Structure 1
Amino acid sequence: MTFSLVLFVYALASAQEDLLGQLDTVKLKEKTIETATFKALQIGNMQSTKLASKGETYILIAHRFGDLTKGLDNFFGLDNAYTKIGAIYGVTNWLSLGASRQTYHKIYELTAKYKFANQETNGFPVTIVGYNTWDINTELSEDDYPQLKASDRYNYSTQLPISRKFSNSFSLEITPIYVHKNLYDLIPGTEKENQFLIGAGGRYKLTKRLSFNLEYAARINAPENTIYHNPLTLGLDIETGGHVFQLVFSNSQSLNDVAVFTNTTGKWNGGGIYFGFNMYRVF
């Protein structure tokens, strides 16, 4: 009887140990969302897969100075700056809306950013986000275009950023891009109504508060007579408490997505390098 009781207690203890082991295995396999794939809402000019959280408001102030390669002629670009001021609001954790105004063509830009999927540990491998912009060019004049219609002022872009955080230091993003212009023949033969691009960008963490960013977008169906170039941008993210400060060097001076992707005039190997910054403050 005593021997049977000992066997029973031993079997019960073994069963509990197996159960605890199984529970530990389940915990290891639990799916958790990867965070901090990118620290800022942008990589440089391109959008990242980061969204404003529900109830958060981001204030954006951005500058792109003139051509650095002209030296003292324009005081290394300080004489010819573009400015963008805007705000982004997190409606939900998966949807944010934004509005901005910039000096380039006096453009007002409305944006929507929304999340389709999150990267998970032991689960879904990537984060997928959608992003749309609607540009309103208020600089166009009926004196220059007597038959100008309201819709001629509108340009649009649609993007699908797809990112993966490979480690605490390295993240990569691929972004299919579509741009539509209602008025696109300002310089005949150099533009198209619809343009497609593939963009790629990455972030490498250098220190706790500093990371190096790089991005590039290739135009798939660029016009044969185009005078524009593929945008290439590099920069640094600096985390300073309540905001991320981004230093940017690019061959594009524009600040709106449509112009960055289809009207980049500079060449890294031939003049037209623009320094600037993006500053996001969250409330």
Structure 2
Amino acid sequence: MSCSFLLLGFFAFSFAQEKDDLMKSLDSANVNEKITVDASNAFKALQVVNMQSTKTPAKKEFYLIVSHRFGALGGEDVNFFDNFFGFDKATTKLGMIYGMTDWLSFGASRLTPKLYEATVKYRIINQKEEGSPVTLVGYHTLNMDTSLKQAVYPNIMFKDKLSFSNQLLISRKLNDRFSLELAGIWVHKNLIDPTMESKDMQIISGGGRVKISKRMSINGEYGLRLNPVSSSTYKNPVSVGLDIDTGGHIFQLVFSNSQRMNDVGYFTNTSGDISKGGVFFGFNMYRVF
């Protein structure tokens, strides 16, 4: 719970610092300025909501990421006040991303509980470059679950702690307000519960962005697991969010049926049943340096 308070305090402090610059920017904006469609940025943030967007960092840009998901908002096992509005069962992600070039970036994150994630993202082609109607991006992740201790699991091997995802992201900016994205995703895990999942999972995920003001947009996404195990209780992930561009960072409010924030877990281990109140509220914050 103390971690949640610290994160909320950090956000409040950062937002206050950006407020003056934001208001100055809004006051000085030329309302008569002609707006053109920048097809290279279908999405403002590096994520649509939870899934990756086709946006890539610019060369030498450094991103600090703070993400947080509170406990479920409802459900039979949820005591809303006893869990202090979800604070007691919250999860956190701290990470960083660095743009090596304008088309290639690397990232590393630490997530609760005891999970590490390394990422690489590269843009293959931009919309309208060489006549392309879409932006095409590759994205790969490597996860290591350090909660699997040999003292608890005597036969555990290092490779059992690893899982991977490979993703091909395709987006199109239709106009200045609307953008769409489709992703083909393959997830592999070295250690699984065969009654719940397969070692190899294929997912098709779709997302979109609707701009509602100069600095705000509503985003949504849905992931369809193509080969789920029949006895599995995991769900297809679905999320909606609100992007807020404060000038210095992108802040995303998130509602999702998944509390997972790593790609492997999000696409294959979503547990929330929306019909029973299995919805998790949280945020993503990207600070660019």
State the TM bucket, normalised to the shorter chain.
0.7 to 0.9
Separation in 1 of the partners of 2:53 and 2:210?
A: 14
Counterpart residue type for residue 263 of structure 1: N
1:87 equivalent in alignment to 2:96: yes
Cα shift at 1:270: 1.8
* Root mean square deviation of aligned Cα: 1.4
Aligned counterpart, 1:60: 65
Map 1:168-183 → 2, pairs under 5 A: 168-183=176-191
SS of aligned partner of 2:275: coil
Which of these residues, 95, 109, 114, is aligned with residue 122 of structure 2? 114
Cα shift at 1:121: 7.4
1:258 equivalent in alignment to 2:264: yes
Name stretches of at least 5 consecutive residues in structure 2 with no aligned partner.
1-36
Aligned counterpart, 2:40: 35
Q: Deviations over 1:40-67 (max 9, x none)?
A: 0001110000000111000000001101
Separation in 1 of the partners of 2:169 and 2:41?
A: 15
Fraction of identical pairs, as percent: 54
Separation in 2 of the partners of 1:221 and 1:149?
A: 27
Aligned counterpart, 2:24: none
Contact 2:40/2:126, CA 8 A, preserved across alignment: no
Cα shift at 1:33: 6.7
1:141 equivalent in alignment to 2:146: no
Separation in 2 of the partners of 1:118 and 1:91?
A: 17
SS of aligned partner of 1:156: strand
Greater Rg, structure 1 or structure 2? 1
SS of aligned partner of 2:251: strand
Aligned counterpart, 2:107: 98
Q: Deviations over 1:173-195 (max 9, x none)?
A: 0000100000112xx41111000
Counterpart residue type for residue 111 of structure 2: Q
Map 1:136-215 → 2, pairs under 5 A: 136-185=144-193, 188-215=194-221
Contact 2:125/2:136, CA 8 A, preserved across alignment: yes
Q: Deviations over 1:100-138 (max 9, x none)?
A: 10113x111000000111101792100000000000100
Separation in 2 of the partners of 1:190 and 1:102?
A: 22
Separation in 1 of the partners of 2:132 and 2:145?
A: 40
Q: Deviations over 1:66-95 (max 9, x none)?
A: 011132232221221101001000001110
- Which TM-score applies when normalising by structure 2? 0.84
Contact 1:33/1:121, CA 8 A, preserved across alignment: no
Separation in 2 of the partners of 1:139 and 1:167?
A: 45
Change in 2 beyond 3 A, CA 1:119/1:33 = farther
Counterpart residue type for residue 50 of structure 1: K
SS of aligned partner of 1:112: strand
SS of aligned partner of 1:53: coil
Counterpart residue type for residue 76 of structure 1: F
Separation in 2 of the partners of 1:46 and 1:233?
A: 9
Separation in 2 of the partners of 1:180 and 1:35?
A: 31
Name stretches of at least 5 consecutive residues in structure 1 with no aligned partner.
1-31
Separation in 1 of the partners of 2:249 and 2:166?
A: 27
Separation in 2 of the partners of 1:144 and 1:183?
A: 15
1:218 equivalent in alignment to 2:224: yes
Contact 2:40/2:135, CA 8 A, preserved across alignment: no
Contact 1:63/1:84, CA 8 A, preserved across alignment: yes
Separation in 1 of the partners of 2:150 and 2:197?
A: 21
- Which TM-score applies when normalising by structure 1? 0.86
Cα shift at 1:239: 0.3
Counterpart residue type for residue 279 of structure 1: M
Cα shift at 1:143: 2.4
Separation in 1 of the partners of 2:142 and 2:179?
A: 28
Counterpart residue type for residue 46 of structure 2: L
Aligned counterpart, 1:24: none
Residue-pair matches, total: 249
Aligned counterpart, 1:22: none
SS of aligned partner of 1:99: strand
SS of aligned partner of 1:258: helix
